A and B are shown apart, each in its own frame.
Chain A
Amino acid sequence: MSLALRVGGLFPTIQQALRGGLPSLPAIGLSITLKPRITANASENITSQEDERLQDLRQQIENNNGNPPFMIDNGMILRAAPKKKLSHAKHRAKLYAPGNKQIHPLNNIVRCPACGHVKRSHFMCMNCYYEIKSFIKVLKRENGIIKDPVNPQSDLDAADKDLIYPTKVDRPNEVRFKQKEWIPVREKTLMFKLGEHRHTKKSR
Chain B
Amino acid sequence: MPSIQKFHANVARHVNMMDKNLCANLIRHEAILTTRTKAKRSQSKIESFLSRSLKINKELSKNKDDSFEFKFRNNKAFDYLQPPDRNEIGGKVIKELSKRYPKRVAGFTRLIKLEPRLGEDKAPMAVLELVDSAYELQFWFVAKIVARLELQKLKLDDTTAHNVSKLVAFRNNGEQEFRNAVEVCKIEFFKYDPETDTVTDNEMKENLKNLPSNLEYYGGELSGKVVVSKKYKTEPRPSKQETYELPKSPFLTESA
Which residues on A are within 8 Å of B, measured CB to CB? 111, 113-116, 120, 122-126, 128-129, 131-133, 135-136, 139-140, 143, 184-186, 191-192, 194, 202-204
A122–B113 Cα distance when bound, in Å, is 7
Neighbouring A residues of B137 by C-beta, 8 Å: 124, 129, 132-133, 136
Neighbouring B residues of A135 by C-beta, 8 Å: 140, 188-189
Within 8 A of A (CB), among B204-248: 207-208, 210, 212-214, 217
A47–B140 Cα distance when bound, in Å, is 66
The reply on B100 being an interface residue by CB < 8 A is no
The reply on B70 being an interface residue by CB < 8 A is no
A120–B112 Cα distance when bound, in Å, is 12
How many Å from the CB of B51 to the closest CB on chain A? 25
Neighbouring B residues of A194 by C-beta, 8 Å: 213
A194–B211 Cα distance when bound, in Å, is 10
The reply on B135 being an interface residue by CB < 8 A is yes
Does A111 contact B140, Cβ atoms closer than 8 Å?
no
The listed residue (B118, B127, B208) touching A124 by CB distance below 8 A is B127
0 or 1 for each of B121-136: is its CB under 8 Å from A? (1 = yes) = 0000001000000110
Beyond known contacts A132-B140, A135-B189, A204-B214: 19 more, CB 8 A cutoff: A111-B212, A113-B149, A114-B144, A115-B148, A115-B207, A116-B207, A123-B114, A124-B137, A135-B188, A136-B135, A140-B135, A143-B134, A184-B118, A184-B119, A186-B115, A194-B213, A202-B214, A203-B213, A204-B212
Does A113 contact B115, Cβ atoms closer than 8 Å?
no
The reply on B160 being an interface residue by CB < 8 A is yes
Chain B contact residue count (CB 8 A cutoff): 26
The reply on B68 being an interface residue by CB < 8 A is no
Residue of B nearest to A112 (CB): B145
A120–B114 Cα distance when bound, in Å, is 9
Does A132 contact B144, Cβ atoms closer than 8 Å?
yes
Does B113 contact A204, Cβ atoms closer than 8 Å?
no
Number of A-B pairs whose CB atoms are under 8 Å? 69
Does B213 contact A111, Cβ atoms closer than 8 Å?
yes
Does A126 contact B114, Cβ atoms closer than 8 Å?
yes
Neighbouring B residues of A120 by C-beta, 8 Å: 115
How many Å from the CB of B30 to the closest CB on chain A? 9
Residue of A nearest to B137 (CB): A132
Does B189 contact A139, Cβ atoms closer than 8 Å?
no
Pairs across A and B, CB under 8 Å, 6 listed? A111-B210, A116-B148, A116-B207, A143-B134, A191-B207, A202-B214
The listed residue (B113, B115, B148, B188) touching A114 by CB distance below 8 A is B148
A111–B207 Cα distance when bound, in Å, is 12
Given contacts A123-B113, A131-B189, A139-B135, contact A114 B145 (CB under 8 A): yes
Residue of B nearest to A122 (CB): B113
How many Å from the CB of A59 to the closest CB on chain B? 47
A133–B213 Cα distance when bound, in Å, is 28
Does A186 contact B140, Cβ atoms closer than 8 Å?
no
Neighbouring A residues of B134 by C-beta, 8 Å: 139, 143
Residue of B nearest to A133 (CB): B137
In this complex, the member of A111, A128, A132, A133 whose beta carbon has the largest number of chain B beta carbons within 10 angstroms is: A132
Does B113 contact A113, Cβ atoms closer than 8 Å?
no
In this complex, the member of B112, B115, B118, B160 whose beta carbon has the largest number of chain A beta carbons within 10 angstroms is: B115
Neighbouring A residues of B148 by C-beta, 8 Å: 113-116
A111–B214 Cα distance when bound, in Å, is 12
Neighbouring A residues of B189 by C-beta, 8 Å: 115, 131, 135
Does B213 contact A204, Cβ atoms closer than 8 Å?
yes
The listed residue (A123, A139, A184, A191) touching B210 by CB distance below 8 A is A191
A64–B112 Cα distance when bound, in Å, is 71
Residue of A nearest to B184 (CB): A135
How many Å from the CB of A32 to the closest CB on chain B? 63
0 or 1 for each of B158-183: is its CB under 8 Å from A? (1 = yes) = 00100000000000000000000000
How many Å from the CB of A28 to the closest CB on chain B? 73
A165–B149 Cα distance when bound, in Å, is 55
